[in-house]
Structure 1
Amino acid sequence: MAAAADTTKTRPKTSPKSIKFLFGGLAGMGATVFVQPLDLVKNRMQLSGQGSKAREYKTSFHAVASILRNEGIGGIYTGLSAGLLRQATYTTTRLGIYTVLFERMSKADGTPPNFFMKALIGMTAGATGAFIGTPAEVALIRMTADGRLPPDQRRGYTNVFNALIRITREEGVTTLWRGCIPTMARAVVVNAAQLASYSQSKQALLDSGYFRDDILCHFCASMISGLVTTAASMPVDIVKTRFLNDPPYKSDRMVHMFSDERYTQTHSICRDDVLVKVIRKEGFFSLWKGFTPYYARLGPHTVLTFVFLEQMNKFYKIYFLDS
């Protein structure tokens, strides 16, 4: 009985599931505040070559200069409200589910799941989070793309809630989940690469004996994870960006822009629609168009998200679990 009591006392305490979900969302939102300009540039670069504005941005620096010149300093934060809502829905769900499943799949002695199980958990968490976060994703893509259009063709959403209301009213509520399949496909690739590679990199760094479980270790693991994720996910990300920006109908003011850029409504990324059209018209390596701003955005976002998350978990453990 005494031994059983001692075992109970030494059993490590864990955060409530609600806290895991809350910290996941807050970490993603905090990171977005810093990297939103890079997300804007990445989206503009991926849309460069679509419709009548072919190759409008030669490089990432050219894109930044053009945005600042045409839209002002505030233009680089276009779509911030949508970016924050996306993190509040998508990241809250994916990191919360990943953390819960990771703990459940770990052995009783604390041994973590193997790499393939981590990847499977990441794919499950990512697909679920992406479905929930698709409406905010649609608003984000449209808001960040708006500035590249002539003034009379812009949608002019004032914030993410205005975007969601107008999309629902003008195009139907199902439009909020238009493109959820390529969005979920992108999330599966991102999360399988990001969450699994982060956990694996962190574990390898700790096992090397040169790192402790501190910010430096979290930073290095995040940078490795960001590089792996960027290389793996860019092709599906450009498909997702093009698909969500494309309107579901040919209105009078948009028809000339998209007359040669219509993508099928099957939500397929394998048939002769987005993926094949991009490769055929712009070349195979255009699938990695915007690599620099994508990694410049994903790298710091990955670093900041995991650093914020680790620090929140650390302080919660110190002040609430161990007190």
Structure 2
Amino acid sequence: MTRSPAAWISILAGTGGLFAAPAAAQVYQTYGAHNPPGASPCQTQDCVYPRKEGEPPNPKWPDWWQSTWTMYRVYGPDYAKYPPPYAGKPPKGATYQTSSGATFYDSTWRGKSGEGAMMERYDSFCLPIFPLRNNYSCKFISLGNIAYFVAGKGRPKWMPPICLFSPLNHPPRPDFIKHLPYSAQDSARIGPGGQGYSFWVSADDGKVMQVGVTPDRTKDGGIMFGYGFQANAAGEMMPQSFYFSGYPLPPADAPYVSQNYRKFSATQPSPELWAEVAGLDPDTLPACQLFDPPKPASGLLTEGESTKAPTWGDIGRWKR
């Protein structure tokens, strides 16, 4: 039986913390964006950041939309000189890789697992936030509170084609930006009409370390999450980019990642997009193990790593 959000929070709280449950039952701290505020150590009531005088009002997503995007993975010894958000390509001098994908969103979807449907499709390089190589296609599909991961050809041999990413990870609500603090410095990098929202959180305790991308806090054990909007010709605020910390060490080597939207359309995606997972029972699926992949028999970490950095999956348990 698929448990309710309240049941998952109760079970995890009762077992000694967010990460005391089995791998298949992972609920990740998202500060209200993908699950209830009670799942994260928020510093504000209900993980909502009140806007200060002079800050712009919160933009909102349309009830449904779809868009392609270009993903920039910025890396190299001088990556910190080129912080996101990016108005277009990363600045001259930055070392980066370009790949593509698309997002499909429908907040009006309803089902037994909750509300909202979303797919993020990575065409040739998967999301680089895990301590894994990512040179394969993948998809994250959320139906209500259940989030699935679908891996394409070229995935690691141990990785199943479909697995349970989380039992409590719903698509962001249209007003999700209330869960992120406004950053004037981020907004300036987007350019005229831009609004940027971001913070760094500590992998040790999940507390917010800093508002805004700069200065870089990767070496301090920080993990960054940000989102940008920009006004179109009609003055409407439209999604501009989703920028965040990837896994900063090999094999992913992605200290900064930005998905810059192209061809954004406020149209309803086809329900066929969710068909791949719509009939699955999440309780019968294997755990994804993306944040904690199986280690080689040699005893090395993963794919030749000799050191380890914190990930979003480590928040609250890093260095325990």
Q: TM-score, normalised by structure 2?
A: 0.25
1 or 2, which has the higher helix percentage?
Answer: 1
- Bigger Rg, which one: 1
Larger relative contact order, structure 1 or 2 (CA cutoff 8 Å, min sep 6): 1
